[in-house]
Structure 1
Amino acid sequence: LKGYFAWSINPTTLKRNSDGPASDGELYYVTSLLFAANRWGNATGINYYQEARNILDAMWQKDGTGDVYNLFNTKHKQITFVPVGEMYSWTDPSYHLPAFLEVWAEYAQDGHAQFYRDCADTARVFLHRACSAPTGLNYDYTEFSGQSHPTRWAPAAFRYDSWRVPMNIAMDYTWFGKDRAWQQQYARRFQGFLRAKGLNTFEDQFNVDGSRPDFILPAGKVKKLRHSLGLVATAASASLMSPDKNSRDFVRALWNAQLAPYEDGYFDPYYDGLLYLFSLMHLSGNYQVIKPQVSRLPSSK
């Protein structure tokens, strides 16, 4: 697993909750490091580009030995759920970030630019399939075909990971705009479904046909459906793609939302807090591609 990161640690003991990586984590790390190299260069005492390459080079050395693989299924050119064991053979729609892969193709300079471009194009096609329901909803986990992949912890449905999908599609729309027509109609379907459920009351887990799932995946100690801030936030980010003026209602709902625990005392720092932050960054126009602003050459010292 050298070069990969454990996806979860205990913040008190700093011990790993799991040794395995989640492939989207490395996707964010590499992109952030490439942006840092573009913004600050590599002569400040931190060689950001080399840190990104350390992850990428390690990734390309994984060939299945010891049941550890590339972050991407190289046959399907799609990101894996986890690049270890059987989890290499299926995916998570919220990991499909074509915008980041376009950035890799442009700035990673590791000899795999065409592969990254192919993966970006494949991700867009995959999202068409995964989000094909009239509701715009997708399953949390899927096969590479976009069809559902049930897991041992929950039946297939639209749940917490799925909240990220509209935000990710909106990012690709604003950064690169290579699939604008489909992305606009996706935003209409997705927001139209949530509006029909009640702009200020829609719940946070669904079957992809829009019905309420029999199994509710717990969040916190209370097993219940909520009108969750994280989904309010990413639904608002979909307004970036929608030509409909009434889509601004979702932005107003986010602006008026409270960044605070729910009535039952639960608050999720990631699914609520960070998705709230990410969505505000997107909607404010402050989350953008960072192009080279200084020399990326490291110091000669």
Structure 2
Amino acid sequence: MHKVINENTGLNPDLCNYDGTMLEGFGGRRNGGSNFRYDSWRVPMNMALDYEWSGTDSLWQRQYGEKIQDFFFSQGVNTFVDQYRVDGSLPEGDEILQAGGFRKLRHSIGLVSTLAAASVMCQHEKRKAFVDALWNARHEPFDDGYFDAYYDGLLRLFAFMHLSGRYRVID
């Protein structure tokens, strides 16, 4: 992860090779696979889980959590969109991966959730804004009718588990 996380934004690509290099040309559906988007959202939450359960890289994980929250805070906690290039600029055209038949940038509750879960790694004051954003978010259809009960819903559930302090290993 150290090799693939953008040092300025904290964003990671949707796809990469195991050595951290970018994976390009993975079919037309994945045009822009080096961008931060749906599969990328899981990284902040996975980092939080590793931080909570093992903490073997806790200093770097804390820095990562604060960096990615800093970036999204700068985009507006209640207005950031769900896809970016890893340098923080907005994707265009075919780079925007569609969901549910819509090719559109949205403020998705799935990303709100994973960024809130990242708060367990952070010590800065901004972390509370992300937790509040999740707590106050409504999981409901967008104005155009698009609704993702599965992915957004599960990420929301997992974030609440992280933030409750009850996400534990069961032997």
TM-score range normalised by the length of the shorter chain: over 0.9
In structure 2, C-alpha distance between the alignment counterparts of 1:212 and 1:276, rounded to whole Å: 24
Partner of 1:141 in structure 2?
15
Partner of 1:166 in structure 2?
44
Partner of 1:268 in structure 2?
148
Q: Aligned AA for 1:143?
A: N
Shift of 1:169: 0.2
| TM-score, length of structure 1 as denominator length | 0.53
Structure 1 residue 286 and structure 2 residue 130: aligned? no
Q: Give ranges in structure 1 of 5+ residues lacking alignment.
A: 1-126, 292-301
Q: Aligned AA for 2:47?
A: I
Partner of 1:253 in structure 2?
133
Asked which structure has the greater RCO (Cα within 8 Å, sep 6+), the reply is: 2
SS in structure 2 of the partner of residue 128 of structure 1? coil
Partner of 1:157 in structure 2?
35
Q: Give ranges in structure 2 of 5+ residues lacking alignment.
A: none
What does 1:226-237 align with in structure 2 at a 5 Å threshold? 226-237=106-117
CA RMSD of aligned residues (A): 1.1
Shift of 1:131: 1.2
Partner of 2:119 in structure 1?
239
SS in structure 2 of the partner of residue 130 of structure 1? coil
Equivalent of residue 54 in structure 2, options 176, 181, 184: 176
Using the aligned pairs only, state the percent identity. 53
Partner of 1:102 in structure 2?
none
Structure 1 segments (4+ residues) deviating >2 Å? none
Structure 1 residue 210 and structure 2 residue 88: aligned? yes
| TM-score, length of structure 2 as denominator length | 0.93
Given that residues 170 and 238 in structure 1 are in contact (C-alpha distance below 8 angstroms), is that contact kept between their aligned partners in structure 2? yes
Q: Aligned AA for 1:140?
A: D
Given that residues 160 and 271 in structure 1 are in contact (C-alpha distance below 8 angstroms), is that contact kept between their aligned partners in structure 2? no
Shift of 1:220: 1.2
Equivalent of residue 192 in structure 1, options 66, 70, 75: 70
Name the larger-Rg structure.
Answer: 1
What does 1:46-125 align with in structure 2 at a 5 Å threshold? none
Partner of 1:201 in structure 2?
79
Given that residues 133 and 208 in structure 1 are in contact (C-alpha distance below 8 angstroms), is that contact kept between their aligned partners in structure 2? no
